[in-house]
Amino acid sequence: MRIAVPISIIALAAAVFAGCGGSSESDSTETGSGAAPQGGAATAPAGASAAKCDVNVAEVEAVRATGISCGETKAVLLAWQRNNGCVGSQGISHVACTVRSYRCIATRTERGVSVSCSKPGRSIAFTSKR
Output Rg (C-alpha) for the chain, integer angstroms: 19
Whether 57 shows a pLDDT value over 70: the answer reads yes
Q: Is the dihedral of CA 44, 29, 68, 109 positive or negative?
A: positive
At 117, which helix (H) or strand (E)?
Answer: strand 112-119
The pTM for the full model equals: 0.61
pLDDT in tens, 67-125: 999 999 999 999 999 998 887 777 788 999 999 999 999 998 888 899 999 999 999 99
Whether 126 shows a pLDDT value over 50: the answer reads yes
Q: What is the pLDDT of residue 39?
A: 45
Q: What is the pLDDT of residue 55?
A: 86
Q: What percent of the chain has pLDDT over 70?
A: 61
| Domain assignments of the chain as residue spans, ordered by start | 48-130
| Nearest alpha carbon to residue 86 among 125, 123, 44, 117 | 117
Q: What is the pLDDT of residue 87?
A: 77
Q: What is the pLDDT of residue 1?
A: 53
20: three-class secondary structure by DSSP = coil
